[in-house]
Structure 1
Amino acid sequence: MVAQVQIPTNNEVKFIPKPDVSNLITEDDTPVDNFGSEKQQRFLTNILYNVRKEQVFLACANVGIYYNIGQPPIVPDFFLSLDVTTPPNLWEKNHRCYLVWEFGKTPEVAIEIVSNKVGGELDEKLKIYQNMRVIYYVVFDPQKYLSEQVLRIFKLMGINYQETSETWLEGVNLGLTLWEGEFENFKGVWLRWCDENANLLLTGDESAQKAEKELQELKEKLRQQGINLD
């Protein structure tokens, strides 16, 4: 595959080969640091793929982003990139992680889940995402390692991030909220998606349970009217 570059002197279009990615480290097989982070990552992706089936996006957990040739990748705990399609062959070298020059854009949202005090979420990583022009950078600190704030949201304003108390991410039509409940038999406080009115967006299991409950309620209503569906 090649990229087009316009030559201003004679208006010719010159084709320049894309960067060689054969030596890029697309995965290092390093495990996630704890069960809580792993479940939280999947919780965020599960919900989006359940409620946005008709939309085009990538929601990924623990996948590297190469944002600049010659620079090492950054690996957010979660990222969301709108209007990009999943490559047809995920095992090809140039499709095994998020290469910005392949997708043509950076993700809109990056989320880091704090699991210790040395991850650099509020300094080194913040600067990287800011330079990448990621619109929303979210730091979820359930154990309050970095501060007393469990949830911190930064929005790109001009060339710099500004921290905001607004949990509605208007640019991606999604909200974030802290929710105490159970996911995959694990109880705790979770970061999860919601709509503009703070209504929770559901996981696949929650959607199935809701549908089953509504079905049983309908059957009961019909029985009361003398209609036995059995």
Structure 2
Amino acid sequence: MLSFEFIIPYTPIPPPLVKGKITMTATVTQDYKITWEKLPDDYKLPDEPVDNINQPSLAAALTESLEFAGKLPQNALAPTNYGICATVNGKIVIKAPDWAYVPSIRVAREEVKRSYTPQLQGDMPVIVMEFISDTDGAEYSIKPTYPPGKWFFYERILKVPNYVIFEPDSGSIEVYRLHNSEQYLVQPPDENNRYWIAEMNLNLGVWQGTRENRTDYWLRWWDEQGQLLLWGSELAEQERQRAEQERQRAERLAAQLRAAGIEPEA
């Protein structure tokens, strides 16, 4: 079986306490053997329902604007609630972030229908997101024992450069940046309350408005020039307004010609 292997020492570093959520601490140091192996075809994936009713819409909105802006290459992967795998100390670990972005996969898409294994099948995700609706604090778990917590998995196993935790109901966003390839640190927003995602050359921020009959908070992308990446419905509305302005301009011109005694058709 083709695989890639790493052995890393780990001394757990607790994430910051956020909004009163309880996080565990640990004092032991342990070596973790990490391999990147294809998920067996007969492996039964966790069948967990989406725990946030807004998750599918939020994820689709993030992907759609990238696609319409031409910023979703053909070999990129933008999975939602989809298993990302690693084998830690001989045991398969799968976490399914609510949204993630992988710049490039190196295999046919048919090979990543069920799950995705970084290093083996393509690039490491450059960003993962969790949309939370409860208070169990799973997004902050640094539990190192099997099965490891989400925070531990993203920070210490996958080493994803950017980790976003978003509360759709309140619009609260936390963006963590991997420091020295070993620890997530809070990333402060810029003067526009946006966060620079260097690996994507885009800014991420919170926007309030309506999409798919949901009027609330959304995560949106802005380019380097500060231009909002539009959804398909917004592009269609923009085109409708352009066509309407052109129609009005043509009517004004026709009226001017008639006033001058000239038939527009002529």
Q: Secondary structure at the match of 2:87?
A: coil
C-alpha RMSD over aligned residues: 2.8
**53-62 or 104-113: bigger deviation:** 53-62
**Cα distance per residue 1:96-134 (max 9 Å; x no partner):** 211224323210010111111114212332221111111
Asked if the contact 2:203/2:223 (under 8 Å) is kept, the reply is: yes
Structure whose alpha-carbon radius of gyration is higher: 2
- TM-score normalized with structure 1 length: 0.79
1:172 aligns with 2:200: yes
Identity %, equivalent residues: 26
Q: Distance in 2 between matches of 1:143 and 1:3?
A: 41
Q: Distance in 1 between matches of 2:72 and 2:100?
A: 19
Partner of 2:108: 87
Asked if the contact 2:4/2:120 (under 8 Å) is kept, the reply is: no
1:150 aligns with 2:150: no
Runs of 4+ displaced beyond 6 Å: none
Asked if the contact 2:169/2:216 (under 8 Å) is kept, the reply is: no
Partner of 2:184: 161
Asked if the contact 1:58/1:86 (under 8 Å) is kept, the reply is: no
Asked if the contact 2:107/2:122 (under 8 Å) is kept, the reply is: no
Alignment coverage as a number of residue pairs? 209
5+ residue gaps, structure 2, are: 6-36, 143-149, 190-194, 258-263
Deviation, 1:222, is 2.7
Deviation, 1:65, is 0.2
**53-62 or 159-168: bigger deviation:** 53-62
**Cα distance per residue 1:59-112 (max 9 Å; x no partner):** 1111110033623201100000113367342xx5x5421122432321001011
Amino acid at match of 2:250: L
- TM-score normalized with structure 2 length: 0.69
1:21 aligns with 2:21: no
Q: Distance in 2 between matches of 1:160 and 1:135?
A: 10
2:222 to 182, 194, 198: 194
Q: Structure 1 residues 190 and 88 mapped into 2: Cα distance closer, same or farther (>3 Å)?
A: closer
Q: Structure 1 residues 85 and 58 mapped into 2: Cα distance closer, same or farther (>3 Å)?
A: farther
